[in-house]
Amino acid sequence: MPLILALLAQITPVQPMPKGTGLPPPASEEGQVMAPVNAVFAAIAASDGERLRPMVRADGNLTVATEATDGTRKIVHRSMNEFITGLKPGGPRLEERLYNPAIEIDGDVAFVWGRYTFYIDGKLHHCGFDLFDLVREDGAWKIANITYSSRTTGCEA
C-alpha cells in the first residue's frame, strides 16, 4: 500500500480534455449566423439549390481547394448562382456534416469555420474544412462566400 501511495504522489495531474462545443441556441447571435449555414446543408440534402437564394448574396462565390489522392491540387471558383443551379432534385442522396464550428462575429461581418464530412448515398465521399463568410444586411445574415477544402484521404466520420 505505501508503494501505491508513493506512486500516486508522483503523478502529475492532467487537465481534462475540453468538451466539444454544441451548436449555439437559435435565438443567440451565433445561432442567427448559423441559420444560413444550416440552410446550405438542408438545400444539399434536399438537392434543391433554390432554397439557398434568400440565404446568399447573389454576387457571392464558391471556391473549392481540391487535393487529389496523387497529391495534385486544384482551385475551382464558381459563382453562387452556379452552385444554386447545380443542386437539382433527382440525383444521389447528399449529406454534409459540420463538426464543432468556430463562429466569429464582428459587427456586421461573421465567419463560420469547421471540419466537415460529405456523404453520397450514405457513403463517405470526401472531407475537409468549410469556411463561410457572412454579412448582415437589413438585419439578416447572408452568406457572401463559401470556401472549402476537399480531399478523399484522412477523412474521419
Taking only the tens of pLDDT, the chain with its 157 residues reads 444 444 444 444 444 434 444 555 556 899 999 999 999 999 999 999 999 999 999 999 999 999 999 999 999 999 999 999 998 888 899 999 999 999 999 999 999 999 999 999 999 999 999 999 999 999 999 999 999 999 999 997 6
* pTM check: above 0.75: yes
- Rounded CA gap, 43 and 62, in Å? 15
Please name each of the domains of the chain with its CATH number.
29-151 (3.10.450.50)
